[in-house]
Amino acid sequence: MAEAFAQRDRAFDGRFVVGVISTGVYCRPSCPARRPRPENCRFFSGANEAEREGFRPCKRCRPSEVARDEAAVAQALAMLRAEARPVPLGELAQACGYSPTHLQRVFTRATGLSPAAYGRALRQEAARARLSEAGEVTEAIYAAGFEGPSTFYAGMEGALGMTPSIWARGGEGVTISWTVAETSLGPMLVAATAKGVCRLSFNEGEDDLRARFPRAELAQGGADFARLVQQVVAAVEAPGTGPDIPLDVQGTAFQQRVWDQLRQIPAGETRSYGEIAAALGQPGAARAVGSANGANPVAVLVPCHRVVQAGGGLGGYAYGEAIKRELLQRERKD
C-alpha cells in the first residue's frame, strides 16, 4: 500500500485509503497532493474506517466518492447481466446517476473493460454455452442477445477458434493432430488444429485429449505437424524461445486477458497473482487470476509457471511443483 501510494497508482483506488496524521485528511492512493512523511501515514480499508478514526476526506481527490463509484459499477454490472441485449452507455449512466463519460471511466477502472466490451463478453459466453448444447445455431445467436447473424459473426470473430456450427456439434469435423513427445521434463502431449497448438500438457495422453475434444477427429499428423512439434519441444527445453508458435486456445474474455498478460512476463521473471490482477486494472481479482491461470490449456507457451505467490513461494502448478521449479530455473540461467 505504501508503494502504491508513493507511486500514485490509480489501479489501487478503491482498495484502500491513506490517512495523514499531520493534516487530518484521508486520500485515495492516486491523490495528486504532495506526499507526507511515511511516519504520518495510516492505511485503512475504506472511507468509513478512516472517518471512524476522525479523518476527513481530501478535497482534491475526493476519496469518499469511491464507495459511490463502486455502487454505480455494481448497478451497471447487474443491468448488463440481466439484459439479453446491448445496453447503451447513456442508458446505463442515467440509471446510475452518472454522466456517460464518468461511468465509462470508473467502470473501466474497476473491471478492465468498457461497459460495451463487458456486455459483448457476456453475450459471447452465453453464445458459447448455447452453442455447446444441441440446437440450431441461429436460435443460439438470438438467445445469446445478438441482434442477428451478422453482428454475431463480427463479435465472435477469432473468439471460438472454429466455426459456430462446428462448435455446436462439439468439435465434430475438426481434425486435431497429436503426439506424445519425450522431453527432459517427461512425456509431453502436443495437440494442434490447423490454426495452432490447442493443448500442451505433461503426463497426459490420448484419453485425456479425447475427454477435452470428444467429437474431434484425432490424427497423428504429417510433416508440418512434426515440424511444429519440434518447435514446441525446443521451447520447452529452453523456455522463453517460442513466442511465434501459433496457438488455438479458447477461454472467457477474462481468461484471454489473463493469458495475454502471462505472455508479456519476460523469461526469467515472475509475477504474483495480485500483480497480474493490478496490471489488468482489476487489483481485487487475484483469486480470479489464479483460476484463469490454472485453466491455461497450453503449458509453457502461455507461461503460467511464471506466476508465484505474493510472498515469493512457488505456488501451485497443474503438472507438479518439480516441473514448475525446473522451468523457472532454466529461464533464470538463460
Question: Catalytic residue numbers?
Answer: 27, 304
| CA nearest neighbour of 101 among 109, 93, 113 | 93
Q: Length of the chain, please?
A: 334
Q: Which residues pair with 189 in a beta bridge?
A: 180, 201
Per the listing, cell 507526507 goes with 36
Eight-class DSSP state of 264:
T
List CB contacts of 131: < 8 A, sequence separation 6 or more: 137, 140, 160, 164, 167, 168
Eight-class DSSP state of 187:
E
Q: Phi and psi at residue 192, in whole multiples of 5°?
A: -150, 145
C-alpha grid cell, residue 212: 477435452
Gyration radius from the chain CA atoms: 24
42 three-state secondary structure: strand
**Cβ neighbours, 10 Å, residue 80:** 21
What H or E segment, with its residue span, contains residue 309? none
Distance CA 203, CA 223 (A): 24
Eight-class DSSP state of 315:
-
Q: Which residues pair with 42 in a beta bridge?
A: 19
